[in-house]
Amino acid sequence: MKSTVRARVVGRLATMGPGFGFLIVFLAVPLALVLSYTVFRRGRFGGVVYEATGENFTRLIDPLYLDVVIGSVKLATITTLLALLLAYPTAYMIARLPAKWKVIALVAVVLPFWTNFLIRTYAWIVLLNSEGLVNSGLDALGLGKLELLYSDGAIVAGLLYAYLPLMILPLYSAIERLDPQLREASSNLGARPIRTFWSVTLPLSLPGVLTGCVFVFVPSLGNFVIPELLGGGRRIMVGNLIRDQFLKARDWPFGSVLALSVIGVLVLLLFAQAWASRRVGRDA
Amino acid sequence: MRRNRKQGNGWLRLPFWLTYVFLYVPIGVVVLMSFNRNKSPYAWGGFSLRWYGQLFGNEKIREGLINTLIVAFGATVLSTVLGTLLAVGLARYNKSRLLDALSTMPAILPDLVLAIGLLIFYAAVKMTLGLHSVLIAHTVFGMAFVTAVVRARLNHADTSMEEASRDLGATPVTTFMRITLPTLAPGILAGALLAFTLSIDEFVIAFFTAAPTQPTLPIVIYSMVRFGVTPEINALATLLLAVSFTVVIAAQRMTKLTEALS
């Protein structure tokens, strides 16, 4: 009896020990450091001076930074809504495809996501540039050229392009799991397709919707490459602000506060998602 | 299909196809442009491979590629070993949701947060930055993906072989090497391939944790894209797309990748 207990302990340590050891040192400790840096004064060349202060947090409501936060939330929200609008019908269609086509359609969604993120952003510079494909097309139609690149629109296009697959996948698995009998029951009881969608399909797929929103909204907030390359640096988003605190302004505590607020948004959304899953689980 | 139309779902086809057009037209244009003879990267001037030729002569890109490959191989080996063991351990022993969450956290955490966390950590322990610091960082999230893919395979795995092996008196290590590993092999290989592509393409964390003298390929690309567009980038982009596509399709064939990630 005692030896089996020992074997289990050894088994645990041999399998999970190295992995969790690594994660504790290189994930948990770094995150704890970010958390602790939020309450200290900045060092002159990066790092911190170990004097407690609440200053870093009050700077968040400085109008200068508040504008950045509000602007980022706005663009990330638009991106998330557009992704939802495009992804929901797509995921719904994929879920109803025959098995063979389903796999192909899903792989086709995932493929761009696994390619180089810079390349995918660069593709939009090629498309939207004043000499690019879109402008050449507009010119040929006699509509003249538009300033497409270096705008909020270009940023949203880039963010949507980067994260759309992350909206489609969770939606697909949520819709796939739905019991088709519920839809049938609804329509047999005389509900029109729109009514069935609003009162059966959508509420039951809400956990998937929220997962997708987490996967699109949070990285959109924290992205600094797309605002820089497609926004031309005109629009500063939270991601840019964080990058600058660490690599330019050398204000690590304020950068940590900003990073912490991104994590805060992430945790909040994950809680909403867990709440929605539980609710659906109870109803079903 | 006829039934769909009757239910009034025909209009769903528009956003469905729009999604795929949206996903593939931009990268398609880049691929097309990479074969463009024209110096201007934005207008067509006939088929040519000249930019590929120039690409191979580019010193900076070659250096970046070598750095990237060193990091990617190291991170792949490390995250595959750690991730596989972790997946087996979690499947067998773990009932704690906290540990589950910790194992998947690097995949959900925004890359920028992990990047600054590690930057602070390296500074705090006074570790000099270099390829090793990027390698460690890439292992952190590579491992999460390996763990997820291997675990998905474990959930479908038949445990009777392992039980039989134990009943016949094999030691746990023998059972692990001769039964568990071979059963999991496709999942492990798929996870390793994913960790490899992730590392090759990863920019944000490398940007924060690499030494300025040893940039990885994505960092080189970033500075190229930032300081002007050259047709060479189209060629490089096409090659990278080809590598990622091949690897991901290979991984997909080995395991039900989409299932593990959704």
* A27 domain residue, yes or no: no
- Note down the domain range covering A236: 62-277
The SS3 assignment for B234 reads: helix
Chain A CB contacts of B140 below 8 Å: 22-23, 26-27
Q: Would A208 be classed as within a structural domain?
A: yes
Q: Is A138 among the domain residues?
A: yes
Q: Which of A15, A47, A127 sits opposite B123 (nearest CB)?
A: A47
Q: What is the model's pLDDT at position A177?
A: 84
Grouped pLDDT means (10 residues each) for chain B, 262 residues? 50 90 92 82 76 87 94 97 93 82 87 94 93 96 92 79 84 84 86 91 95 94 80 88 86 63 46
* Domains of chain B and any CATH numbers: 58-261 (1.10.3720.10)
User: Can you give the pLDDT at residue B137?
Assistant: 96
Nearest to B236 by CA among B223, B214, B249, B218: B218
Residue B234: list chain A partners with CB under 8 A: 126
Residue A12, min C-alpha distance to chain B (Å): 6
Beta-carbon contacts below 8 Å between A and B: 266
A-chain residues near B241 (CB < 8 A) = 115-116, 119
What is d(CA A73, CA A222) in angstroms, rounded to the nearest whole number?
10
Question: Residue A14: inside a domain, yes or no?
Answer: no
Encode pLDDT of A16-46 as tens digits.
899 999 999 999 999 999 999 999 888 877 7
Nearest CA in chain B to A87: B19
In chain A, what residues touch B120 (CB-CB under 8 Å)?
30, 33-34, 37, 252, 256
Q: Which residues 222-251 in chain B show a CB within 8 A of chain A?
A: 222, 225-226, 229, 233-234, 237, 240-241, 244-245, 247-249
A16 with B105: Cβ contact below 8 A: no
Sort out which chain B residues have CB atoms less than 8 A from A124's CB and list them. 26
Distance in Å, alpha carbon of A77 to nearest chain B alpha carbon: 17
Looking at residue A282, its pLDDT comes to 57
Q: Which position has the token pair 């997946």?
A: B87
pLDDT of A284 reads 43
What's the pLDDT score for residue B4?
44
At B206, which amino acid appears?
A: A
Output the pLDDT for position B256.
59
What per-residue confidence (pLDDT) applies to A2? 60
Q: How far B200 CA lies from chain A's nearest CA (Å)?
A: 8
Residue A247's Cα: distance from chain center in Å? Answer: 23
Strand, helix or coil at A130?
coil
Q: Report yes or no on A213 lying in a domain.
A: yes
How far apart CA B172 and CA B178 sit, in angstroms, is: 10
Q: Give the pLDDT of residue B229.
A: 65
Confirm whether A9 is domain-assigned. Answer: no
> pLDDT at position A196, please?
81
Nearest-CA distance B243 → chain A (Å): 9
Residue A40 lies in a domain: no
* CA separation for the pair A74, A236 (Å, rounded): 12
Q: Which residues of A touch B257 (CB under 8 A)?
A: 107, 110
- For chain A, the domain total comes to 1
Q: Which residues of B touch A125 (CB under 8 A)?
A: 225, 229
**A182/A199 Cα distance (integer angstroms):** 11
Judge: A256–B116 Cβ closer than 8 Å, yes or no. Answer: yes
Asked if A88 contacts A171 with a C-beta cutoff of 8 angstroms, the reply is yes
pLDDT of res. B2: 42
Place of tokens 């750690």: B82
- Hey, which residues 58-87 in chain B have their CB within 8 Å of chain A? 81-83, 85-86
Question: Is any Cβ of chain A less than 8 angstroms from the Cβ of B56?
Answer: no
- Where do runs of H (alpha helix) occur along B109-230? 111-124, 131-156, 160-167, 172-175, 181-201, 204-209, 217-226
Cα A126 to Cα A132: distance, rounded to the nearest angstrom: 6
The candidate with the shortest Cα–Cα distance to B190, out of B135, B130, B91, B258, is B258
Task: List the CATH number of the domain containing A67.
Answer: 1.10.3720.10
Q: Which of residues 4-33 of B touch A (CB under 8 A)?
A: 4, 7-9, 12-16, 18-20, 22-27, 29-30, 33
Flag if B82 and A19 touch (Cβ within 8 Å): yes
Residue B262 pLDDT = 43
Residue pLDDT tens, chain A, 284 long = 566 788 778 888 888 899 999 999 999 999 999 999 999 888 877 778 888 888 888 888 888 899 999 999 999 999 999 999 999 999 999 998 998 899 899 999 988 888 888 999 999 988 887 777 777 777 777 777 777 888 999 999 999 999 999 999 999 999 988 877 877 788 788 887 788 888 888 888 898 999 999 999 999 999 999 999 999 888 889 999 999 999 888 899 999 999 999 999 999 998 998 898 888 875 54
